[in-house]
Amino acid sequence: MNNLTTLGESPLWSSKEQCWYYVDIANGVVFRRKNGVTTVVSDSHQNVSNLVNTQKGLLATAEDQILQVIPDTDNVKLLLKIAQSSDLRTNDGSVGPDGRYWFGTMEKNPSGLHGKIYSLSSNGKLRLQGEGIGIPNTFVWLNSESILISDSFLKITYEVDLLDCGKLDWDNRKVWLDLRNTNGTPDGGTLDENGDVWIAIWGGAAVQKYSPDGVLLDKLSLRALQPTSCAFGGTDLNELLVTTATEDLSVQQLDDFPDSGRVIHLNMDVKGKVLPEFIIEEQEC
């Protein structure tokens, strides 16, 4: 099986199943990787962009839908239809310390700041949290009161406070990382046990480690020009899975960066944090 991804994304460790998941957004495929073997879980959904764990499998954001996916079954349940233009799709997201699922939307062919940021409660309530973002990414919670959200269209990562009312203070967001004068773009990221932030640098062939206040601490150089995201996992949470993309790369670039499109599995000397699950409330008959 050719497991190269056009736009690999959303690496996710399932402690219950002791396996990895990731997606290929461009081809609408969900992959599972267990004991070194990669299989297709689903290839029937449009532009699946992000996965998080739930108490019964996975929550998946698709083009304009949020789905509950039960692996090894045909059970795919529509949880929510997002009312938006057909020019838009979902992108990155994560479960916050508050238990809500936080995610963003973007244009399929980005031309400006036309995306939005939402939160989803376990009871199915969708709340608009911010507007005016081009390509929403990262969604790493520094703590219960502060989240990092990148706009990959602008090449900037913002630190955004969560107000007591459960609303993001998006209008007063602060620049946490600015890569506008570099070849790299901040994409997906994750947090380690020490509170340091690891971010995939699209176009920079690297995953970079930052302190909680945005100071560069380390750089993992890769043979993939366009890493898209990274996540800690494994039995001891000391493995890092990095997804990558081949999208729009030239033949020369593919030769120069031969791991493009692959998932890169790294053993680390630091552990990741256990990520919260999204709890889906059961509906009464």
**Sequence ranges of the domains in the chain:** 8-267
pLDDT at 285 over 50: no
- Residue 145's contacts (CB-CB under 8 Å, 6 or more residues apart) are 161, 162
Q: What is the mean pLDDT of residues 82-93?
A: 95
The 10s digit of each residue's pLDDT in 216-251 is 999 999 999 999 999 999 999 999 999 999 999 999
Average pLDDT over the chain, rounded to whole? Answer: 94
Q: Where are the alpha helices (DSSP H) in the chain?
A: 251-256
Beta bridge mates, 55: none
CA distance 284 to 124: 14
Alpha-carbon distance of 276 to 89, in angstroms, equals 24
**Phi and psi torsions of 221, nearest 5°:** -75, 140
- The radius of gyration of the chain's CA atoms, rounded to the nearest angstrom, is 17
- Here the tokens at position 100 are 């809500």
The residue with tokens 């461009």 is 26
User: Which pLDDT score is estimated for 1?
Assistant: 44
Sheet holding 50-54, edge to edge: 50-54, 57-61, 65-69, 76-81
Q: Which CATH architecture has domain 8-267?
A: 6 Propeller (2.120)
pLDDT tens sequence across 109-152: 999 999 999 999 999 999 999 999 999 999 999 999 999 999 99
Give the separation between CA 200 and CA 226, rounded to whole angstroms: 8
